[in-house]
Structure 1
Amino acid sequence: MSRISVRGFAVASATAVTTVGAVVGVATGDAQNDLETTASGATLLADIPVGEQAQVQTAALAQQADAIALSADADARKATEEAARVQAAQLAKEKKAAAEKAEAEAKAKKEREAKEQVASRSNPTTRDSSGFQVKGSYTVSEVKAIARQMVPASQFTCFSNIVNHESTWNYRAQNPSSGAYGLVQALPGSKMSSAGADWRTNPATQIEWGLNYMNDRYGSPCGAWSFWQANHWY
């Protein structure tokens, strides 16, 4: 049986501990098992009174258990810190990807709107107001049909949203307070005479004027609609 010294006391045991309580392994019975400290003054288990040997062995085992527990705690802390680091890195990566995606989408939207504005300026109307037969009155459906032929398809929804809010497609609508008139509530209504003398009764004339106004001031009906949404006027 091997004799191993633990902090000045030799312990006969299959499992040994170093002089500071660290685990050094399990005795295997080979030539290296004969491990005995060479430090001067080491006391062997055989030199300890029989009544105290059990106490010394218990203390050595407790010391060994404490060392194992401390090692396990250190490993657990290390694993927790590593997991937190990995999670933080993953979150940072996801945030960066989301920011890049949002930036790319915003850029694509801006480019698309710019192209639409250019197209709208180069082709402000798909059909001139003079090409429509003048009638004594028009239904909402007829007015919308005229607008669809005059407003570029890519801009029609925006144009329609503004007209819905301004006049609900009533080409004779008049604001009693301000005097704004027509589909797009021109203020004053006489401004629309630049598109035709029949601005009071011809929705095609009003649409032509309104479309040109939106293109000139906001770049396009969609530009005007964006402004309207933010300010509730345009």
Structure 2
Amino acid sequence: MSRISVRGFAVASATAVTAVGSVVGVASGSTMQGNNDAEATASGTTLLADIPVGQQAQVQTASLTQQADAQAIAADAGARKQAEEAARKAAAQTAVAKKKQADAAAKKAAQAAQDAKEREDADEQASRDATRDASDFSVQSSYTVAQIQSMARQMVPSAQFQCFSNIVDHESSWNYQAVNASSGAYGLFQALPASKYSSVGSDWQTNPATQIKWGLNYMNDRYGSPCDAWTFWQANHWY
């Protein structure tokens, strides 16, 4: 059988047997049956034996290189697909974790707000309950500072008493008959006009408990609590 001409390296590598095993088999000198040669020739396939000996090694190398390249491309595509899938899973897990953290933070904030509201309501209720005892004190002809402070302790919630006391210290030094000579402000809280005390009792000039009741109501109504009133006083030196 005559050797076919090879039309350049590109034609040879394209028409060579692509299966590595077949190429190696032909290159090793294996003989083929006559009818197989006829079938191969009829199909238009160029056998490795039909390629000049000097180019056979190049054809084999080109075939193996093409297969290696194809395998590398497939492996690279598979690796990219796995990396993308892993990235998607990681992003989803991160999103779930962040949502859980946000939900937990929101729940914690809501609980803190609820606790603060309950404490505020409890303090307000305690203040209201305490003022009901103002009329329980018997009227005396005079009162010492210690007696007036004792009344206040029984009327003002314990958590608010120090703030309440701070304001009274600055306004009147616990003198329920203190008068500001220039303005006419009067009593424990230096109410102006002094007649404001009458909103809780007509004996405001002689009964410190009545003044205490008025002062506590004023701080709660205007500022929310004695401690809030004291915070304002510290910033402004009046309340």
- Same-fold call, TM cutoff 0.5: yes
Contact 1:143 1:203 in 2 (8 A): yes
Q: For 2:120 and 2:114, how far apart are their aligned partners in 1?
A: 10
1:118-137 per-residue CA deviation (whole Å, 9 max, x = no partner) reads 45434524454734766565
Larger strand fraction of residues = 1
Q: For 2:186 and 2:45, how far apart are their aligned partners in 1?
A: 111
TM-score by length of 1: 0.59
Tell me by how many angstroms 1:206 deviates.
Answer: 2.6
Matched with 2:158 is: 156
TM-score by length of 2: 0.58
Q: Which runs of no fewer than 5 residues in structure 2 stay unpaired?
A: 1-13, 22-42
Tell me by how many angstroms 1:53 deviates.
Answer: 0.9
Contact 2:20 2:63 in 1 (8 A): no
Structure whose alpha-carbon radius of gyration is higher:
2
Q: Which runs of no fewer than 5 residues in structure 1 stay unpaired?
A: 1-5, 14-39
Matched with 1:188 is: 193
Q: For 1:72 and 1:99, how far apart are their aligned partners in 2?
A: 40
Q: For 1:71 and 1:132, how far apart are their aligned partners in 2?
A: 95
Distance 1:58 1:179, change over 3 A: farther
Letter of the structure 1 residue corresponding to residue 18 of structure 2: A
Tell me by how many angstroms 1:83 deviates.
Answer: 0.9
Q: For 1:128 and 1:156, how far apart are their aligned partners in 2?
A: 19
Tell me by how many angstroms 1:63 deviates.
Answer: 2.3
Q: For 2:228 and 2:49, how far apart are their aligned partners in 1?
A: 95
Matched with 2:65 is: 58
Letter of the structure 2 residue corresponding to residue 80 of structure 1: A
Which one of 98, 101, 104 corresponds to residue 94 of structure 1? 101
Letter of the structure 2 residue corresponding to residue 82 of structure 1: K
Q: For 1:117 and 1:130, how far apart are their aligned partners in 2?
A: 22
Percent of paired sites with the same residue: 38
Count of equivalent residues: 193
Q: How does 1:171-210 map to 2 (within 5 A)?
A: 171-172=174-175, 180-193=185-198, 194=201, 196-198=203-205, 203-210=208-215
Q: For 2:142 and 2:67, how far apart are their aligned partners in 1?
A: 110
Which one of 84, 90, 113 corresponds to residue 91 of structure 2? 84
Larger helix fraction of residues = 2
Distance 1:207 1:138, change over 3 A: same
Structure 1 SS opposite 2:137: helix
Q: For 2:123 and 2:15, how far apart are their aligned partners in 1?
A: 86
Output the aligned Cα RMSD: 4.2
Distance 1:137 1:122, change over 3 A: closer
Which one of 141, 144, 151 corresponds to residue 146 of structure 1? 151
1:50-91 per-residue CA deviation (whole Å, 9 max, x = no partner) reads 322112212321221222122112211221221111111111
Contact 1:195 1:206 in 2 (8 A): no
Q: How does 1:3-22 map to 2 (within 5 A)?
A: 10-12=18-20
Distance 1:8 1:71, change over 3 A: farther
